[in-house]
Structures are given as C-alpha cells and as structure tokens.
Amino acid sequence: MLDRSGAVMVRDSDPSTAGAGFRPARFGLAFPGTAGSVRGALTTVRSALRGMGVPQETCGIVEIVLAEVLNNIVEHAYAGNAAGFVELDLERREGALAFEMRDWGHPMPGSAAPDGQPKDLEVPIPDLPEGGFGWHLIRSLTLDLSYDRTGSANVLRFLVPLNGVATLQ
C-alpha cells in the first residue's frame, strides 16, 4: 500500500566515511509517485545538495529539472490506475551531478524521451501554449540524458553541470 502522505524515505546518504567536515558524495531517496509527494521530495533533495556543498544556482536548476521529471512521472507514467514508487539516486562527480531516476509506471511513448522542441510563440496571444514546456526545460538544463525501459522500470539518467551558467546557452 502506498504511503499517500508524501513521506520521503532517505535510502542512502553514504555514511561510510562520515566525520568532521565530511560532505557526502551520494544521496538516494524513494517516495510515492503521487502529486502530493513532489514538493517534499524536492525539499529533501535541496537540503541534501546543500549538505554536499552544491552552489545555490545549481540547486535551483536541479529543482526545475526534478520538478518536471517528477510531474511527468505522476501525470503520465503513473496515470490512471497505475501507482508506485519513485527512486532517485544522485552522485556528485567531477564538474557535474549525476542523476538516476526510476519508476515502474507506463513506458515513455515510442520508448524514447521526448526531444523537447521549443514551442512556437510567434502566434496571437489566444493561441499561446499553456503546456508542453517541461521536456524543453529538462533538455536545456541537463547533459547526457538517456532513457531505458529495464524490465518494468523506466530508468532516466542525466547530468546537471555544477558550473550551470556556462553550459546553459
């Protein structure tokens, strides 16, 4: 039975070498793939990143990316009667944060992550798009994104550079 409270369970914060001044390089958590869990998960990740010494701007970028990925999981992978957990692992590497996110919902359409083409804004105001920005944001803010369907799991991997500004445009 899923915990609908939005509780987040920390799975791994790499305590093996904990000590004075130690900054963990890895972090993992699991939580229900429900709309009510997203804010709590984002808050938990932000705290973990601060503990890892990640710059504030990068924390902000990560929050945008994770919000879009998680909203997609909640609204699409776990749409309808599907329900399940989300697992998130992150690791601090040289110059980037590496993320792996797993869910057990519906596969991505076409077995591929959307390419996130920007929306056409050269239209009259009543025709402006009100959605479909998510994958464009994800693609703009990440590197080396890959999607795999492994058994019944969707596995999304990507990097967020630690020097976010230089790589954005």
Partner 1 sequence: MELVCRDTGELRLIKVAEDRIDAAVAIQFKDLVREMTEDGPMRVVLDLSRVTFLDSSGLGAVVAAMKQIGAGRKLELAGLTPNVEKVFRLTRMDTVFTIHPDVDALGLGLRHAG
Q: Which of 39, 50, 93, 149 binds partner 1 (CB under 8 A)?
A: 39
Stretch that binds partner 1, among 24-32, 91-99, 104-112, 122-130 (CB under 8 A): 122-130
Q: How far is the CB of 71 from partner 1 (least distance, A)?
A: 5
Q: How far is the CB of 152 from partner 1 (least distance, A)?
A: 25
Contact flag: residue 25 with partner 1 (CB under 8 A):
no
80/155 Cα distance (integer angstroms): 20
Q: Which residue in 145, 117, 143 sits closest to 132, CA to CA? A: 117
Task: Tell me whether strands 9-12 and 85-93 are parallel, antiparallel or unpaired.
Answer: unpaired
164/157 Cα distance (integer angstroms): 18
Stretch that binds partner 1, among 23-31, 88-96, 121-129, 154-162 (CB under 8 A): 121-129
Q: Which of 128, 146, 149, 152 binds partner 1 (CB under 8 A)?
A: 128
Stretch that binds partner 1, among 61-69, 78-86, 90-98, 143-151 (CB under 8 A): 61-69
Contact flag: residue 105 with partner 1 (CB under 8 A):
no
145/98 Cα distance (integer angstroms): 10
Which residue's CB is nearer to partner 1, number 133 or number 147?
133
Which residue's CB is nearer to partner 1, number 24 or number 38?
38
Rounded to 5 degrees, φ, ψ at 155 are: -120, 115
Give Cβ neighbours of residue 135 (< 8 Å, ≥ 6 apart).
68, 72, 113, 114, 115, 116
Q: Which of 24, 32, 105, 134 binds partner 1 (CB under 8 A)?
A: 134
Give Cβ neighbours of residue 78 (< 8 Å, ≥ 6 apart).
33, 34, 84, 103, 105, 106
The DSSP output letter for 167 is H
Question: Residue numbers of the site for partner 1 (CB under 8 A)?
Answer: 35-36, 38-39, 57, 60-61, 63-64, 67-68, 71, 74-75, 118-119, 121, 125-126, 128-134, 136-137, 140-141, 168
